[in-house]
Amino acid sequence: MSLHFRTPSLTGKVFDGQDVSPPTQNSQNEPVSVYAMFTTPEAAQPPEQSSRRKRAPRRKGLRLCLLAVLCISCFFLLEWRYLLSFSRTPQSTLELMSSGTTLVSRNSSHKRPPTFMFDRLLALAAHALAEGDHKIEPRDLWKEPIAEAARWRPCAHKRNSGYAAPPEPEDSSGYIMVSADGGLNQQRVAICNSVAVARLMNATLVLPKFLFNSVWKDESQFGDIYQESYFINYLKDDVRIVKELPLELRSLDLAIMGSILTNVDVPKESMPRFYLDNVMPILLKNRVVHFVGFENSLSFDPVPPEIQRLRCRCNFHAFKFVPSIQQTAGTIIKRMRDKSPRWGPVADAVTSLPPVSDVEEKLVEDYAKADNRSTKGGTDLAVVGEDYVARNRYLSLHLRFEIDMAAYSLCEFGGGEQEREELQAFREIHFPTLSKHYLSGSLRTAAALREDGKCPLTPEEAVLMLAALGFKRSTRIYLAGSHIYGGEERMAILTNLYPNIVTKRTLLTEEELAPFTNHSSQMAALDFIACAAADAFAMTDSGSQLSSLVSGYRIYFGRGYLPSIRPNKRRLAVILANNGTLEWEDLEERVRKTVRESKRVLVRPTARSVYRHPRCKECMCVSKH
């Protein structure tokens, strides 16, 4: 009687007591199985029967292997069907999944080769989001380190005792004119730098003008976006600002006089000494200097403390948007927090109520009155009658993935040769110098740029980051920015996994949006306010001016209750490089650790922007408690 039980083999796997390891060519060298040691010898079998018995376990093992492969295939098929079930437009999503994410919209006559980025991780993200609506969000998801951040309070509006008043225009060194280039946020930086330089040179500032930009294509001027009188009056104790040159100076040919200074004449981030040594003689001689461009033309260190504080005073206190922009932005904020059916089922009010920041009141006049809100007992909780209520929170996301950003970055986004040709064609028109260097091969490769974290995040990478951080599928998301490169098809993954994602175009009616049509800077102002007032702000490219200015504004006025999520793109690139083997739990842990480190409360690093990092003694004060 033979002993027949399951036991391991020294040569491989065992099924029902049989060693199924493949035989070697030399049977004399085969190891003896443990099973054979515990069985009694059987009578010799005919060769044919013995051969069939040897093949039988191999057939059985082959069937089991095929069954395992079939089960795994079914698992991945079910995951894909699960992902597709989230689509609000099933047909378009099915086409997207089958053909890959493309980089052109449906209106394009040229279809690129199919691309399919992070398909496995996106399937895992869909599964996690489906389960996540019934889980508690991470505790620090909507918070900064409050105890440390709350100690920093705004104080750039304060002037030291003995602060010298500016001279009257006729007694000043002369007049400084500025024509600011770029979009709304680049222009804002240029304006504050020009205010600082005017104070440094004891000059009078002419209200800045905005250049027409071939990318932004907006003819808006200062008065179309900001309140001119408020700006002039708020800074009257720092710099004299006039709307026009005196009549006797308007007819001067500044180009012949050598009074027009471009970015070629004024190096990027020039020291204060440069202006005193090189620009002041021209100003004293000609009475007028006209800066053209001037975005980053003044360094951040070393700069006299009062000049640094003036820059903060200008950026955080002197700008007030015109009423039409304020009112429309206020409408966006209210609709992001209302109980409209557009959001689906509204969650029950939570017992732990988040404090209400006063950023809305800073950006939108009479916002609390218009929103029927007030404060009670010195707290900042919203009050209706005698009952405290929780606001509906929303996340703002600046997905900086427009075609100009994609082209300027020199990165590749999965679109193959046609994508490279399209981005190069854009560079030749809008960034000709960069295009020449790119064609010469002297610049870094796209792969090296991505590895170093220099590439903007795609919508696919953005949705993976949000899901890994723990934002629920039902999260309300305000998407800032212009037209995403690749159109709706590129955005499909993001909108399918987060159905409550909206833009100003979907929140506002055509009549409400009409005054801002074809005015990209005014549109950007709406985005600025909506992002600054959000309960959490996520950026995909911390180098963009909107992200920098919004995050700085939230630090300055947020009192620790307005977190900004700034991913480390270099670390994120390393994490996502393992997308073929990375498990979802590992992705969550690594992404959360990376973002948590970016939320640390730090003093402004040397030579870094005070507009983005206002935590410094020139801009903010630290309370003892």
Instruction: Output the pLDDT for position 346.
Output: 57
Rounded distance between C-alpha atoms, residue 516 and residue 396, angstroms: 21
At 226, the pLDDT band (50, 70, 90 cuts) reads very high
Which two structure tokens, joined as six digits, stand for 364? 């939108």
pLDDT above 90 for 394: yes
Please name which of 368, 371, 363 lies closest in space to residue 338, comparing C-alpha atoms.
371
Inform me whether the pLDDT recorded for 248 exceeds 50: yes
Q: What is the dihedral of CA 267, 268, 272, 275, to 10 degrees?
A: 30
Average pLDDT over residues 276-305: 95
pLDDT at residue 237, as a whole number: 97
Q: Are 540 and 399 in contact (CB under 8 A)?
A: yes
Q: Which amino acid is at 128?
A: A
Residue whose structure tokens are 């309370």? 623
pLDDT classification of 319: cutoffs 50, 70, 90: very high
User: Using 50, 70 and 90 to split pLDDT, how confident is the model at 625?
Assistant: low
Q: Where are the alpha helices (DSSP H) in 321-431?
A: 323-337, 359-363, 367-370, 403-409, 416-430
- Read off the tokens for 403: 């075609």
Gap between the Cα atoms of 275 and 168, Å rounded: 21
Instruction: Give the mean pLDDT of 95-107.
Output: 33
Report the SS3 class of residue 479. strand
- Tens-place pLDDT, residues 518-547: 899 999 999 999 999 999 999 988 778 899
Computed over every residue of the chain, the mean pLDDT equals 81
User: What pLDDT sits at residue 30?
Assistant: 43
Q: What are the domain boundaries of the chain?
A: 86-157+327-349+392-400+456-625, 169-320, 402-444
Question: Is residue 15's pLDDT more than 50?
Answer: no
Q: What CA–CA distance (Å, rounded) separates 468 from 565?
A: 13
| % of the chain beyond a pLDDT of 70 | 75
Q: What is the mean pLDDT of residues 374-397?
A: 50
Which tokens go with 269?
């981030």
- pLDDT for the residue 340: 83
Q: Which pLDDT score is estimated for 2?
A: 42
Q: How far is CA 402 from CA 399, 480, 564, in A?
A: 8, 11, 21
Confidence of residue 560 (pLDDT cuts 50, 70, 90): confident
- 169-320 has CATH 3.40.50 classification: yes
Residue 291 pairs with which residues in a beta bridge? 178, 261
β-pairing verdict for 18-19 and 14-15? antiparallel
Residue where the block lists tokens 């040594």: 277
Q: SS3 for 189?
A: helix
Predicted confidence band at 22 (pLDDT cuts at 50, 70, 90)?
A: very low
Can you tell me the mean pLDDT for 306-316? 97
Residues of the chain above pLDDT 90, percent: 56
Confidence of residue 55 (pLDDT cuts 50, 70, 90): low
Which region among 8-22, 92-106, 429-443, 452-466 has the lowest average model confidence (pLDDT)? Answer: 92-106
| pLDDT at residue 148, as a whole number | 86
- Evaluate whether 392 touches 346 at the Cβ level (below 8 Å): yes
Predicted pLDDT of residue 71? 65
CA dist., res. 453 & res. 196, Å (int): 33
The predicted pLDDT at position 477 comes to: 97
